[in-house]
Amino acid sequence: MSRTVLNCGYVPLIDSAPLIIARELGFAAEEGLDLNLVRQPSWSALRDMLALGHLDAAQMLSPMPVAMSLGLGGLPAKIDSLMGLSVNGTVFGVSQKLAGDLGPVPFGDPHALLRALAGRGRGPLRVGVPFPFSMHRLLLSYWTQSAPDLAVEVVTVPPPRMADAVADGHVGAFWVGEPWGSAIVGRGVGSILMAGRHVWGFAPEKVLAARHDWIADNPDPTRHLMRAVYQSARWLDIEKNKPLAVEILGRSEHLNLSQEVIEPALTGLLTLTQGGTPQRIDQFLMFHNHAASFPWRSQAAWIAARLGADAAGIERAKQCFRSDLYRANLGPIGADLPGASEKVEGAIAEKTAVASSRGQMILAPDAFFNGRMFDFSASSDQ
């Protein structure tokens, strides 16, 4: 039987791993798919290719489908998130020069870091992010808005160029996904001061996206694709598989990078400053564990709220996170399904068992740095 060819866009990053592994280790083939991974030079190019039908599916930054559902950005189109591809995995850091000005700041302490940055004086802080509709930018603005005297200027810098932008002083700080944070440290031009998870403990980072109409017209390929990616993500979160994952991702046809810059994100052992000892960061990047691939509608709501949506907009955003399809397509192959598709975001302080279809679901801490909680079912946040 011939396999169904699916063209799937991606931007070469560590968190494209579920797609790359699905192809390379045969999870896609087992589902009867020929998963053709099409590398994209930018998020805007990927979005246009997906929206205009040149791609069937794509890896996207989690805020992209939400932004599109709200009519924000270059191309309004109905794009749904089928499932999460990754949770967390980003880092915030500053140039070597600014690190010197700040003096010692304890790692992973958003409050102390904010005080240090606000106290440094001298004009706005220019921060490089990969794309306007990225979790990086949303977390940055969420975090810095609690320091009104810190002026922040956000600039978009394609991640492969971030190290140059930091080196030549175009930006003083950066918020990027791996491997680009480790690449900046490796070049000795900047230091990592915290991970994205220090601002939000469980932030949806990349999602598997497709056009709403395409999903409706192609239920079988959709189901197969979701199952292949689900198996791939599960494989990726098994400790003993990590060395092989690092090797495959580094290959020239994928990330084309040395294993030293790929390893930190997958093992959660990051070197924060050149020559420093690697430090373990819990929950640095997750693909599968703790329901990482479940498209929580409350997460879509948080993103929409941060993008300035009203109640109707938040409702639309929730609908584009397809927890209904996740249940229908992955339940039969044994995925543990949570009792509800929304949760109070920020309410989990430590690992907590919750009601689920197989009774094995343990959710990981998802606290915000300021201890706030968001309950969108009550359509108000406290």
Partner 1 sequence: MRKDLRILVVEADTAKAKNIIDALLEAGWSDVHAIAQVSGLEQSILKHAPDIVLIDMANPDRDTLEHIGVVSDTKSRAVAMFVDQTDQDLTQAALAAGVSAYVVDGLQMNRIKSVIETAIARFQMMRQMQSELEAAKQALEDRKTIDRAKGILMRRRDMSEDAAYKLLRKAAMDQGRKVIDVAQALVTASDLLT
Asked whether position 158 contacts partner 1 by CB under 8 A, the answer is yes
Distances, alpha carbon 180 to alpha carbons 57, 161, 192, 254, in Å: 24, 9, 11, 15
Interface segment toward partner 1; rule CB under 8 A; list 153-161, 221-229, 329-337, 366-374: 153-161
CB of 312 to partner 1, least distance (A): 21
Window 58 to 87, contacts with partner 1 (CB under 8 A): 72-76
Describe the strand order of the beta sheet including 204-211 as a list of residue ranges. 33-39, 4-10, 57-61, 204-211, 79-88, 285-286
E strands in the chain: 4-10, 33-39, 57-61, 79-88, 90-95, 125-129, 152-156, 173-177, 190-195, 204-211, 269-270, 279-280, 285-286, 352-353, 362-363, 374-375, 380-381
Paired strand residues for 173: 94, 127
Give dist(CA 305, CA 318) in Å, integer. 11
Which pair of structure tokens corresponds to residue 3?
């396999």
In terms of CB distance, is 132 or 172 closer to partner 1?
132
Asked whether position 7 contacts partner 1 by CB under 8 A, the answer is no
CB of 133 to partner 1, least distance (A): 8
In terms of CB distance, is 32 or 160 closer to partner 1?
160
Interface segment toward partner 1; rule CB under 8 A; list 129-137, 201-209, 277-285, 341-349: 129-137
Give dist(CA 231, CA 321) in Å, integer. 20
CB of 152 to partner 1, least distance (A): 12
Asked whether position 170 contacts partner 1 by CB under 8 A, the answer is yes
Asked whether position 212 contacts partner 1 by CB under 8 A, the answer is no
Contact residue for partner 1 among 68, 105, 154, 303 (CB under 8 A)? 154
Paired strand residues for 1: none
Asked whether position 29 contacts partner 1 by CB under 8 A, the answer is no
Contact residue for partner 1 among 3, 30, 42, 124 (CB under 8 A)? 42
Give dist(CA 64, CA 133) in Å, integer. 6
Which pair of structure tokens corresponds to residue 61?
């930054």
Contact residue for partner 1 among 30, 34, 45, 188 (CB under 8 A)? 45
Give dist(CA 131, CA 126) in Å, integer. 14
Contact residue for partner 1 among 131, 142, 174, 235 (CB under 8 A)? 131
Contact residue for partner 1 among 7, 29, 48, 242 (CB under 8 A)? 48
In terms of CB distance, is 157 or 270 closer to partner 1?
157
Asked whether position 155 contacts partner 1 by CB under 8 A, the answer is yes
Give dist(CA 26, CA 382) in Å, integer. 46
Applying CB under 8 A, the residues found at the interface with partner 1 are 41-45, 48-49, 51-52, 54, 72-76, 130-132, 154-158, 160-161, 165, 170
